[in-house]
């Protein structure tokens, strides 16, 4: 891992497809915790899932890769992500209402 990848970063991700009612949020929490990432995940009113995560850039990339498939039962059609400056705002990865 390069020094650039070890720098803390933040990413906002929007996942579209059949991603609600299939355990996507809970699987995302487990994956983020496994990767040592902090942040949150929630369902949106329009049927998508969104998450905001902080951690080192390589681990955030791995989370985005995971989001492209998600848990069994999910049918992801699109993943959009936007890199943001690290804010150090979170102490764990949680479900957000």
pLDDT of residue 7: 86
The residues near 32 (Cβ < 8 Å, ≥ 6 apart) are 38, 39, 41, 51, 53, 63, 93
Task: Dump pLDDT digits (tens) for 35-82.
Answer: 999 999 999 999 999 999 999 999 999 999 999 999 999 999 999 999
Q: How far is CA 71 from the centre of its chain?
A: 13
Kindly list the catalytic residues: 25, 43
Fold (topology level) of 3-88: Alpha-Beta Plaits (3.30.70)
Q: Using CA atoms, how far apart are residues 74 and 82, in angstroms rounded to an integer?
A: 22
Residue 30, SS3? Answer: helix
The predicted model scores a pTM of: 0.92
Q: Using CA atoms, how far apart are residues 39 and 21, in angstroms rounded to an integer?
A: 21
């Amino acid at each position: 891992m390069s020094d650039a990848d070890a720098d803390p970063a933040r990413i906002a991700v929007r996942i579209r497809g059949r991603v609600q009612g299939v355990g996507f949020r809970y699987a995302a929490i487990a994956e983020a915790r496994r990767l040592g990432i902090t942040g949150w995940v929630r369902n949106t009113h329009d049927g998508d899932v969104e998450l905001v995560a902080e951690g080192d850039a390589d681990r955030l990339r791995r989370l985005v890769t995971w989001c492209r498939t998600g848990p069994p039962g999910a049918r992801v059609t699109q993943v959009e992500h936007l890199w943001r400056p690290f804010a150090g705002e979170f102490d764990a990865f949680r479900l957000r209402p």
